[in-house]
A and B are shown apart, each in its own frame.
Chain A
Amino acid sequence: MTAARKLINWLGLGLFALLGVAAVVPLFLIIGDIYIKGIDAINRLGGLWHFLTALPPTPFDEKGGIGPMLVGTLYMTALGALLGIAVGFPLGVYIGEMRREKFANVSRAAVNILVEFPTIVVGLFVYAVMSLAKQSLNQYLLDPLSKALSPVGGWITQFIGPLDGFNAYAGAAALAIIMIPYVALITASAYASIEQQLREAAYAIGGREFNALFVVLRKAVSRAVVTAALLGTAKIAGETAPLLFTAFGNTYYAPFTGPTAAVSLWIWYAAQTPYSVQIASAYGAAAVLLTIILIIFIVARIRG
């Protein structure tokens, strides 16, 4: 009897270990494939520094890089993450902490839907808004603004000026819309899990409700919120679909007010061309993107 039980136990454990391995293997296969091909490609295309700064290769080039894409991705991800945290965190406090407000239930439901939204729809939505708003926005705000700012120097036109239909700000907005519900939900669940004892202490020492909620209790849940912000940033850094109709992509260093390059867009474009040099650059770009995301992920793990 005991021998049979031992055998069943052994078989059961073996099965679960096998399932665990099966879950991990694809991850390492993907990472390994991308780094092996990517590092080889980066070396062939002119070394790491050249690859990170140069323009992408045309089909007839030997060398090239992803300079404009890297700049575009970093810029849009940073803006999108800042906006996502700035809106997502207070929203999370609202739906997590002020649960008795009537509207909080509506927002919680909305956020829960938004977090599962197809990201390409978000991009399409921002594109539509951009098309409608562009003309008056340029006419009444951005034209006068860029003229007023012109004494600062020509470099300012790289960032502020009349917008094209496709631009980095539309891309950042789409990324922010993807990040907001993500940050809000994690913030909300962190606040909802605060014990009543700690909440009372916060109000006893914090005084004002704003201080109690956004200073004392934020410090109590800061780890979860920072982790959420970092993981959300890693998530949007690799997004492609929302950028298709918003940033559009570019192959040159160009003002952020016009079509803007992104690493993910370049991978999507270059990998489907028939030219081996561009396919190689897509592998290199994938390795760079994966590195960025893994670094953010590791930082989040260490802090959390």
Chain B
Amino acid sequence: MAKIDVKDLRVFFGASPVITGVNLSIPDRSITALMGPSGSGKSTTLRVLNRLIELYPEARVSGEVYLDGRDIFKMDVLELRRRVQMIFQIPNPIPNLSIFENVALGLKLNRLVRGRRELFERVRSALEKAQLWDEVRNRLDMPAGKLSGGQQQRLCVARALAFEPEVLLADEPTANLDPENTARLEALFLWLKRDVTIVLVTHYPPQAARVSDYVAFLYKGQIVEWGPTRDVFTKPKHELTEKYVTGRLY
């Protein structure tokens, strides 16, 4: 059963087309990777899925996107963003806000918790799921900006998980991390997919091969090929895909 269905998605920035017809169906509780060279429209596709694209007034979107069969453009944007959370390329906690507050703020603003006790439990459980709790449990009041890059990114994962989302969008989440933290985050994703549908944007084919169940290869705003990861990497149907996964197209 598909969690997200994308039908004939087109996005223009001003007059220039960025996405020219993307059809995609993202299976529930799995990791779907969107891979492709820079400028292929991966991040833009991702920003349509939680309508962050609306922060860019010059962007025009057409096509249909369904979450559990419901049109996301007719859905309340607050509900959509609660259910579809996101982590970003550069870890972006609010730097001068404490570790605790960074996770708690979204819950408070959306009135998702009642009382201090429930808030604390939700924050702790989110930090535990993001595998950060043991490192920060004694310094929850410290400004988030003092954490290391890898910890900041896991804090952002915790901030997203605090909403108990159904979908987690990840926009090249390891692009600014060292190999050790990259491995940790990938292991975390593999564990999280039991509960959450993950859409991972990456410009690094080996990462897609390592963690994803399904992969879509985007090139110049269109999907060249998509299917189960093993098939796409071992028996690519399209010459471009073969070139890309073997590192001859970038």
A contacts, CB < 8 Å to B: 100, 195, 197-201, 203-208, 211, 215-216, 219-220, 222-223
A216 to B57, CA, bound (A): 21
- Tell me whether A207 and B78 are in contact (CB under 8 A): yes
A200–B78 contact, CB under 8 A?
Answer: no
* Chain B window 137-166, contacts with chain A (Cβ cutoff 8 Å), 1 for yes, 0 for no: 000000000000000000010011001000
Query: Across the interface, do B105 and A204 meet the contact criterion of CB distance under 8 Å?
Result: no
Please provide the chain B residues from 65 to 92 with a CB less than 8 Å away from any CB of chain A in the complex.
77-78, 81-82, 85-86, 88-90, 92
The 9 closest A-B pairs by CB, nearest first: A205-B106, A197-B92, A207-B78, A201-B92, A211-B109, A197-B90, A220-B94, A204-B86, A207-B110
Contacting residues, chain B, for A220 (C-beta < 8 A): 94-97
- Which A residues touch B95, using CB under 8 A? 220
Q: Which residues of B contact A195 (CB under 8 A)?
A: 90, 92
A203 in contact with B52 (CB, 8 Å) = yes
14 more CB-based (< 8 A) A-B contacts, given A197-B88, A200-B55, A201-B94:
A100-B57, A200-B92, A203-B55, A203-B81, A204-B81, A204-B85, A205-B159, A206-B106, A207-B77, A207-B81, A207-B110, A216-B94, A220-B94, A220-B95
Interface residue count on the B side (C-beta < 8 Å)? 29
Indicate if B202 sits at the interface (CB-CB under 8 A). Answer: no
Q: Cα distance A197–B173 when bound, in Å? A: 12
**Which residues 158-210 of B sit at the A interface, judged by CB distance below 8 A?**
159-160, 163
Q: Please give the distance in Å from B135's CB to the nearest CB on chain A.
A: 21
Is B97 within 8 A of A197, CB to CB?
A: no
Q: How far is the CA of A282 from the CA of B191 in the complex (A)?
A: 73
Instruction: Check if B32 is an interface residue, CB within 8 A of chain A.
Output: no
Q: List 29 A-B contacts (CB under 8 A).
A: A100-B57, A195-B90, A195-B92, A198-B94, A199-B55, A200-B52, A200-B86, A200-B88, A201-B88, A201-B92, A201-B93, A201-B156, A201-B159, A203-B81, A204-B50, A204-B52, A204-B86, A204-B160, A207-B82, A207-B109, A207-B110, A208-B109, A215-B105, A215-B109, A219-B94, A219-B101, A220-B94, A220-B95, A220-B97
User: What distance in Å separates the Cβ of B202 from its nearest Cβ neighbour in chain A?
Assistant: 18
Give chain B's interface residues, CB within 8 Å of chain A: 47, 50, 52, 55, 57, 77-78, 81-82, 85-86, 88-90, 92-97, 101, 105-106, 109-110, 156, 159-160, 163
Q: How far is the CB of A228 from chain B (nearest CB, A)?
A: 16
Which of B52, B57, B109 has most chain A Cβ within 10 Å? B109
Partner of A216, one of B86, B90, B105: B105
Most chain B CB neighbours (cut-off 10 Å) among A100, A204, A206, A208: A204
| Contact A208-B78, Cβ < 8 Å, known A203-B52, A215-B105 | yes
Q: Which residues from B are CB-within-8-Å of A204?
A: 50, 52, 81, 85-86, 160
Contacts of A197 in B (CB 8 A): 88-90, 92
Contacting residue for B96 out of A199, A211, A222, CB 8 A: A222
Complex contact A219–B97 (CB within 8 A): yes
Query: A residues within 8 A CB of B52?
Result: 200, 203-204
